[in-house]
Amino acid sequence: MIYPNATRRIKITLSYDGTAYHGWQVQPGLITIQKVVEAIVTHIEGKPVKVAASGRTDAGVHAMAQVAAFSMGNPIPTENLKQAMNRLLPTDIRILQAEEAPAAFHARFDAKSKIYEYRIWREEVCPPFDRLYVHHHPYPLDEPAMIAASRLFEGEHDFSAFAAADPKDALGHSKVRQIFYSVLQRRGSCLIYQVLGSGFLKHMVRNIVGTLIEVGKGNLNSEQVRKLMEQTGGRCGATSPPQGLFLVRVNYE
Catalytic one among 58, 92, 110, 142?
Answer: 58
CB atoms within 10 A of CB 239: 18
Task: Give the pairing type, strands 62-72 and 52-53.
Answer: antiparallel
Q: Which residues, in sequence order, are bridge partners of residue 158? A: 176
Query: Which value, to the nearest 10 degrees, does the dihedral of the CA atoms of residues 16, 35, 72, 74 take?
Result: -80
For residue 110, indicate whether it is catalytic: no
Answer whether 162's CB lies under 8 Å from 208's CB: yes
Task: Give the pairing type, strands 52-53 and 155-158.
Answer: unpaired
Q: What stretches of 77-175 adopt beta strand conformation (E)?
A: 93-101, 113-121, 135-136, 155-158
Instruction: List, by residue number, the catalytic residues.
Output: 58
